[in-house]
Structure 1
Amino acid sequence: MTWVFTSKKRFYLHDDETLLDGLLRTGHDINYQCREGYCGSCRVTLSHASFPVTYAEPPLAMIEQGEILACCCKVKGLIHLKEVK
Structure 2
Amino acid sequence: MPTIIQVNGKFYPVKDETVLEVLEKAGIEIYSQCRDGYCGACKCKTTNPESVKHKDDILAAFDPESEILACSSKVIDGETLVLKM
TM-score (norm 1): 0.83
Whichever structure has more helix as a proportion of its residues is 2
What one-letter code is carried by the residue in structure 2 that aligns with 1:79?
A: L
What one-letter code is carried by the residue in structure 2 that aligns with 1:68?
A: I
Separation in structure 2 between the aligned mates of residue 17 and residue 73 of structure 1, nearest angstrom: 9
Change (3 A) 1:73 1:67: same
C-alpha displacement of 1:23: 0.3
The gaps in structure 2 that reach 5 residues or longer are none
Q: Please give the secondary structure, in 2, of the residue aligned with 1:71.
A: helix
The aligned residue for residue 42 of structure 1 is 42
Separation in structure 2 between the aligned mates of residue 41 and residue 82 of structure 1, nearest angstrom: 16
Change (3 A) 1:58 1:52: farther
1:1-85 matches, within 5 Å, as: 1-7=2-8, 9-14=10-15, 16-48=16-48, 52-64=51-63, 65-76=65-76, 77-83=79-85
What one-letter code is carried by the residue in structure 2 that aligns with 1:78?
A: T
Percent identity, please: 36
Q: How many residues align?
A: 81
The gaps in structure 1 that reach 5 residues or longer are none
C-alpha displacement of 1:79: 1.1
RMSD of aligned residue pairs (Cα, Å): 1.7
C-alpha displacement of 1:44: 0.2
C-alpha displacement of 1:8: 5.9
Q: Is the 8 A contact 2:14 2:75 kept in 1?
A: no
Change (3 A) 1:66 1:58: farther
Runs of 4+ in 1 over 4 A off after TM superposition: none
Separation in structure 2 between the aligned mates of residue 8 and residue 28 of structure 1, nearest angstrom: 13
What one-letter code is carried by the residue in structure 1 that aligns with 2:13?
A: Y
